[in-house]
Amino acid sequence: MLDTHIIRNNPQKVTESCAKRGATFDAEVYAGLEQKRKTLQEKVQNLQEQRTKGADEIGKLVAQGGDLNQLKQQMQQVQQELKPAKKELDDLLEELRNIHLNLPNILDADVPVGKDANDNTLVLEWGDKPNFSFKPKEHYELFPQLMDFTIPGKMAGSRFSLLRGPMAQLHRALAQMMLDVHTRLHGYEEINIPLILNRDALTNSGQLPKFEEDLFHIKKGDDKDDNKGDDKGDGVDFYLSPTSEVGLVNIGSDTIYSGDELPVKVTCHSTCFRAEAGSYGKDVKGILRQHQFEKVELVQIVKSDKSEEALEEMVGQAQKILQMLELPYKVVTLCSGDIGFSAAKTYDLEVWLPGQDKYREVSSCSNCRDFQARRMQARWVTDPGTNKKELVHTLNGSGLAVGRTLIAVLENNQTADGKVKIPEALKPYLSEDFPELLGD
């Protein structure tokens, strides 16, 4: 959520940032709503003061044995005016809150302006693309006996998969390697988070209300006793976690950190669930775009003057995995039309997939600055002497998407006879009898 001080006093900045994203913000309409809010708040405050004053006067008259009729009539009139005015104000505040919740983050000044992924700017390329003497296959063509889409289709429908035997072990090994690198080399604490989340958590991270159609919405049931204390009175609304970023970021919700407690660096390997509402017809084959997938997530909660440095660090940490696996990739800065809602700046890591003859995203690393922190009131004490506080900054990144990394390992290491060489970095995470060449 943006600082309301900026929205009210520098609407041009908000308008320009939204325009770069291809979004709109009507500053004139907003200013009208703000003026109406001020007028209504003054009216409600005046009526409440009259009610308080009248109650005091009634108390005095009762003590004196005076006539209360005229004063009671006046108080009835005040109450008749106050009730609708209060409702009108509450409705207006809700309307303004919805506007605030649907405004994307202000872009950093160095974010390139563009419409879509074609306008992203190259930062670096790493590694040599494999030079095959044959036409490389796509991942789902290599081992159809180990990557099943028919059986899960009967269980759950399209965009689900079933990995068997060595393929499942390879997938698990990738996730374990990623966790070990990030916890042992990069200083992250491993966290195991809930996969069922309430509206508050998803609003804090920025998924709600903007992207509700991309979430799997579930119902807990109608047993009110079973809900006590679970969801802050939000009834029975729950959602499957779309990314462990949500759970990790919410560790900081309603928290005040001392300077010594920052940065917070946490990682999680979890299953993620996305409806992919806007992806009809895209990447329908294989495991590239699934309703259910696994990812190792990185989140940092940092001092407000350290987030730019932390973003560069996080991008390097995600690259480390690709380098260890010897997978060619590139890093791009997302343009204004391709960047996520909550991010002020984002780098994408795109790994080379020879079967598709293109680079595909395997990680996004974003600096959200104080956008998420404002929603969840995560702060830190900048001056212990005065107890002055500021909002923290939050960052998130994939370290990496496990399924997409598996695709890259399969496609980049395939041989002419349809087998796959196993990267050296993965071998310690595989069983002793795992073949040197997958397919032997």
Distance CA 332, CA 349 (A): 7
DSSP H/E element including 90: helix 69-102
**Contact criterion met (CB below 8 Å) for 170 and 429:** no
Report helix, strand or coil for 6. Answer: helix
**CA proximity to 303, closest of 270, 335, 261, 269:** 261
DSSP label at residue 307:
H
In whole angstroms, what is the distance from residue 85 CA to residue 24 CA? 30
Contact between 336 and 114 under an 8 Å Cβ cutoff? The reply is yes
Contact assessment for residue 125 and residue 346, using Cβ atoms and an 8 Å cutoff: no
Mean pLDDT by 10 residues, the chain (440 residues): 97 98 97 97 94 77 68 85 95 97 98 98 98 97 95 94 97 99 99 97 97 90 50 68 98 98 99 80 85 98 98 99 99 99 99 98 99 98 96 99 98 97 98 91
Tokens 């996969």 correspond to 195
Structure pTM?
0.92
Count other Cβ atoms within 10 Å, centred on residue 200: 16
pLDDT of residue 229: 46
Which pLDDT score is estimated for 284? 79
CB atoms closer than 10 angstroms to residue 288: 21
* Tokens at 262, concatenated: 């920052």
Contact indicator for 291, 155 with CB cutoff of 8 Å: no
Residue 229 CA: distances (Å) to CA of 72, 219, 252: 42, 16, 19
**Per-residue pLDDT tens digits for 145-184:** 999 999 999 999 999 999 999 999 999 999 999 999 999 9
What domains sit in the chain, N to C, each tagged with a CATH number?
26-102 (1.10.287.40), 117-438 (3.30.930.10)
247 within 8 A of 194, measured Cβ to Cβ: yes
Please give the single-letter amino acid code of residue 195. L
pLDDT at 70: 77
H or E segment at 174?
A: helix 165-180
Give every CB contact of residue 116 below 8 A, 6+ residues apart in sequence: 335, 337, 338
Quote the CA–CA distance of 399 and 183 in Å, as a whole number.
11
Task: Estimate the share of the chain in helix, then strand, then coil, as percent rounded to the nearest 5.
Answer: 45, 20, 35
